[in-house]
Structure 1
């Protein structure tokens, strides 16, 4: 049996990367240190040893990189009372600094997120950009949520007068993107909204983090809300969405659904539905037989005559496909013949049929006739009873389109700058539209609303309150409007909040050591619940945070079962062998593939009880025994 003790920090990413390097290149390690000269020799031609080389750097980049690899000492505390449909939902809403949250998600969601969409601060001087504290991110988070620094100065904006205008923004984005990449599946995609203020810098750091070869496109989107003019003389009518893959060769970008206007051109109909036709012969003047000789062959018309792909003046052209593909089209009723009169002679023309059902259109990267920002603002007002509680929301339709391109089925969607939770709204809408069961994780800093704003006056003290309420209202509205289609729609979400670890640190008072020992005996921080500790254990052991958490009473002690017996936790005191026997019975009933069992280290009635419990669990097939 494996016996371990739970620690209060997340995995050390730097240490994990070193271990991976050791597996690939064991010969470059000397006394457990990397010999960079040997590593250069192993890598050969792939090493750039010139001082003059292409790179992108700024003040603080090294510290920002190290910050992304520093383990988090925080945790996520559940908030049932602010959640919706806690027991059944698979969606998460997380309040906290997204840097710390991304660290906490590394183990549970590594390579599990199919699509990320973020709308980060554009760094216009008015949005929320704050410098990370490289020494203590959790303390920094507490200061930031109070909107003032240690000296009482507001730190919610980053103006050009700061002297570190672009640097602060880059130091904020770089570690977050590095952590986000780890969460993407190999066929995952990230979409990042930005305007022309930081697009050059964003593309450079994305090229470094995701690899320049994994750049897919830059979507240019008409905002519908022209801004600017004045001294610059130009009106800004667009913003951008950068698109990067985790691994380009693994990605599939799907088509977009047709709109009503798209469908109007399908003006023919037969027993199989509405369709349109296009000529089977290539119609370009340069598409001659010699271009693709395998696509020049006779096909048999309805009257038995042979038809060749001939151009208007009789030149030899070609078909749009080869013979085997043509036979497949015939077999699937996708060929239509028409007889037309030409120079007094009836001739046969052959066409391919395209049915409307299940048809999609290939997306371009210029999005002009799309839902604009004004409609997004109206949508917020509609949801919140005519109150404009959030400035500059993204249009739901835009994010729906992105979701349709890069996700389907049960895919997991992440937005770690979630704002008013437009992405969650779009996920629910698209799930109804295409029958999917996408799940979302929204992450948002609880940034305070301005006391003069409509949001504050309407009772929303921070942005998270707006986001959670939007999901509640939007979900109910979708259910009301799409009764049958939405009957199985998940419109709930579990709320989790960033905080310091529940596990108490040993901080002895040497002037009163006896009392310090007594205080430490309780194991975890005052004011924390057993459920708080359960979720911290789930995070540290990499379990999905949407797993069901069930409570049982065994031998008068409370036992938690996570993921139908994958993890069994008892945090009570005076634990006896009867508890261990009851846990084994429950595990046998639930029948998980494997089970871990967790107790408090000082929760056993006696030391002999602890020894006997370990033996009982081992004899029952439990291979991992954990104490905290």
Structure 2
């Protein structure tokens, strides 16, 4: 509400919208729809089933626009940088996804994101001026203040419902990110997207276009509220959705869940069966005697000798032959007094299978918005977020998507409060999991009047990193406590009379201690920054002076702020190596993953060229300026590398 009065035109449009809402699209009249609604003979141009919106073709241009950005390490903000395989990237996620394309293409097992819901109060980055140049766009998403923080005014655009392209702007923001995300998924990978009623319909259509309708898996419903919102004008909004798509549905199936204590409690052993606890299932089915005449036959109750027939509308579920096998296996239960009119079939707990996931997620199983707040407050004195997801919800999604004993990548490029990373740490403690995360969060400035800013957190990314640090520290303490309990249990078993059973249990407990000790609860922090190498700027027209200045800059292509370490990480990424590649510093060069890649960045002499060749690398990258004034050395190096079968590149 802006305090201005409606114009006569607006009043007429509002009146028309009341009568013919179907003739409007994103708040504006769709003239073709209006004519069709009024019965005029009209042919819609290019009639076909397709999702279209304002700016779609230009959003593809943004998708295809290559990035010149890179990632640089921030070791001082990391935890156990050199050993950990968990990654936290601070930067604008579209640019980060582009940077990661070569190194992480087809390597991610699971992606979970919780993007802006487009409620009308959201601010997010979307390209609203498609005529802007690549340089202008990069400047807008990279504007920083004097302290080096990204400026909110330059990057973010509020997308209110009064905006004429309200849905289009959201789709323009989401589409390129989802395309790039799909590239990163393995063939047996899966993506989960949290969303609510504002955009769930458009998200489904967008995902059908990007992933293929055939790869839609489910639309999970998460009951997020414990109690209703009684101040709601229409309905209490008690649920949200989690949309699930596989990279290739033929290759991905959800892992069944372990049975809970509550589920196992339904099994008992009233007749002291030696096979242990059991529950029972009906012995009839939903077919009638006309449909299954061979299943309509009498049974004999062995306790009474009485002949028992099924109902004509619900015959036995098993043939006579199978029934005889059930008798021999003692699988029939005729009730507590043995006089039931129909038996039930025993199902033993030892034969019970893991549980299939259900599409309705109860807050009692996976947490609520209230429990999400409590999760956060276990680590911080104040809650800095209005809406976060509970740890149990994300743990559930990880458990059904990734096997804990495999070194699989879990990604979240809308990391927000850091719930995904925290959830994975909890799984590491619970299941001694080997998965690792890659989380991405924009350094979005916090409100200077808000509690988080007062507590010293200038950006959302700062809060995310601190949550991961605190979660890791807390879980590490819990692991130490768990190890002490296990050691006490081992000591107790060792004091008992030795048996094969308790010897095996002792070894099992010792193994668990070792698994707990090696849990990776650290994370590398990397930040999106400009390239360490100067980028050629296209000169408009025939400005000889400008061209000369450009040529002068490229006498040394290394940027003024470049460091050797930052160049190592940039070249590592540009060579398709991931951020956990093993980097080994030798006297005059860097080895990446053994002999996969060698980087020559500090000096080039015949002696260290010979040392590089002796390592028998697959590929070598060197700075061209190292050969400045020594063309003979460069020529000899090229020939030596070729003779040794080594791919050689200079920058």
TM-score (structure 1 length as normaliser): 0.78
Secondary structure of 2:61's counterpart equals helix
Q: 1:232 to 1:317 in 2, by over 3 A?
A: same
Unpaired runs of 5+ in structure 2?
Answer: 1-43, 484-511
Q: CA deviation at 1:452?
A: 1.5
Tell me the distance in 1 between the aligned counterparts of 2:341 and 2:293: 28
- Residue 437 of structure 1 aligns with which residue? 434
Contact 1:193 1:239 in 2 (8 A): yes
- Residue 650 of structure 2 aligns with which residue? 627
Contact 2:276 2:348 in 1 (8 A): no
Secondary structure of 1:181's counterpart equals helix
Q: 1:287 to 1:441 in 2, by over 3 A?
A: farther
Contact 1:147 1:156 in 2 (8 A): no
- Residue 641 of structure 2 aligns with which residue? 617
- Residue 418 of structure 1 aligns with which residue? 415
C-alpha deviations, 1:272-317, integer Å up to 9, x for none? 99743334x6433427696597x99999x999xxxx9974789862
Q: CA deviation at 1:535?
A: 1.5
Tell me the distance in 1 between the aligned counterparts of 2:171 and 2:278: 50
Tell me the distance in 1 between the aligned counterparts of 2:87 and 2:545: 45
**Range moving further from structure 2, 364-373 or 175-184:** 364-373
Q: 1:67 to 1:326 in 2, by over 3 A?
A: farther
Contact 1:129 1:168 in 2 (8 A): no
Tell me the distance in 2 between the aligned counterparts of 1:309 and 1:289: 19
**Equivalences for 1:21-32 in 2 at 5 Å?**
none
- Residue 455 of structure 1 aligns with which residue? 452
- Residue 317 of structure 1 aligns with which residue? 316
2:566 is equivalent to residue 540 of structure 1: no
Q: CA deviation at 1:172?
A: 0.4
**Equivalences for 1:507-586 in 2 at 5 Å?**
519-553=553-587, 557=588, 559-573=589-603, 575-586=604-615
- Residue 503 of structure 1 aligns with which residue? 533
Secondary structure of 2:139's counterpart equals helix
2:492 is equivalent to residue 490 of structure 1: no
- Residue 263 of structure 1 aligns with which residue? 264
2:164 is equivalent to residue 141 of structure 1: no
- Residue 77 of structure 1 aligns with which residue? 72
Contact 1:479 1:487 in 2 (8 A): no
Contact 1:377 1:388 in 2 (8 A): yes
Contact 2:286 2:313 in 1 (8 A): no
Tell me the distance in 2 between the aligned counterparts of 1:519 and 1:373: 54
Contact 2:108 2:185 in 1 (8 A): yes
Q: 1:274 to 1:535 in 2, by over 3 A?
A: farther
Contact 1:287 1:318 in 2 (8 A): no
Contact 1:89 1:492 in 2 (8 A): yes
Tell me the distance in 2 between the aligned counterparts of 1:353 and 1:423: 37
Secondary structure of 2:280's counterpart equals strand
Tell me the distance in 2 between the aligned counterparts of 1:583 and 1:342: 85
Tell me the distance in 2 between the aligned counterparts of 1:309 and 1:435: 53
- Residue 397 of structure 1 aligns with which residue? 392
Contact 1:226 1:236 in 2 (8 A): no
- Residue 122 of structure 1 aligns with which residue? 117
Q: 1:607 aligns with which of 620, 625, 631?
A: 631
Q: 1:434 to 1:344 in 2, by over 3 A?
A: closer
Contact 1:420 1:466 in 2 (8 A): yes
Give aligned pairs, total. 556
- Residue 90 of structure 1 aligns with which residue? 85
- Residue 276 of structure 1 aligns with which residue? 278
- Residue 467 of structure 2 aligns with which residue? 470
C-alpha deviations, 1:397-450, integer Å up to 9, x for none? 001111111111222111111101111111121233233211111011110001
**Range moving further from structure 2, 90-99 or 352-361:** 352-361
Contact 1:412 1:439 in 2 (8 A): yes
Unpaired runs of 5+ in structure 1?
Answer: 1-48, 588-593
Q: 1:597 aligns with which of 605, 620, 623?
A: 620
Tell me the distance in 1 between the aligned counterparts of 2:519 and 2:186: 24
Tell me the distance in 2 between the aligned counterparts of 1:50 and 1:512: 48
C-alpha deviations, 1:541-576, integer Å up to 9, x for none? 2111221212111xxx2x111122211101113x11
Tell me the distance in 1 between the aligned counterparts of 2:417 and 2:72: 21
Contact 1:390 1:455 in 2 (8 A): no
Tell me the distance in 2 between the aligned counterparts of 1:346 and 1:226: 44
Secondary structure of 2:187's counterpart equals strand
Contact 2:78 2:524 in 1 (8 A): yes
TM-score (structure 2 length as normaliser): 0.76
Q: 1:530 to 1:320 in 2, by over 3 A?
A: farther
- Residue 373 of structure 1 aligns with which residue? 369
Secondary structure of 1:121's counterpart equals coil
What is the Cα-based RMSD across aligned positions, in Å? 3.9
Q: Which has the larger radius of gyration?
A: 2
Q: CA deviation at 1:529?
A: 0.8
Q: Which has the higher contact order (CA 8 A, sep 6+)?
A: 1
Q: Pick the structure with more strand per residue.
A: 1
- Residue 39 of structure 1 aligns with which residue? none
Secondary structure of 2:250's counterpart equals helix
Secondary structure of 1:360's counterpart equals coil
Contact 1:337 1:351 in 2 (8 A): yes
Tell me the distance in 2 between the aligned counterparts of 1:92 and 1:455: 24
Contact 1:292 1:318 in 2 (8 A): no
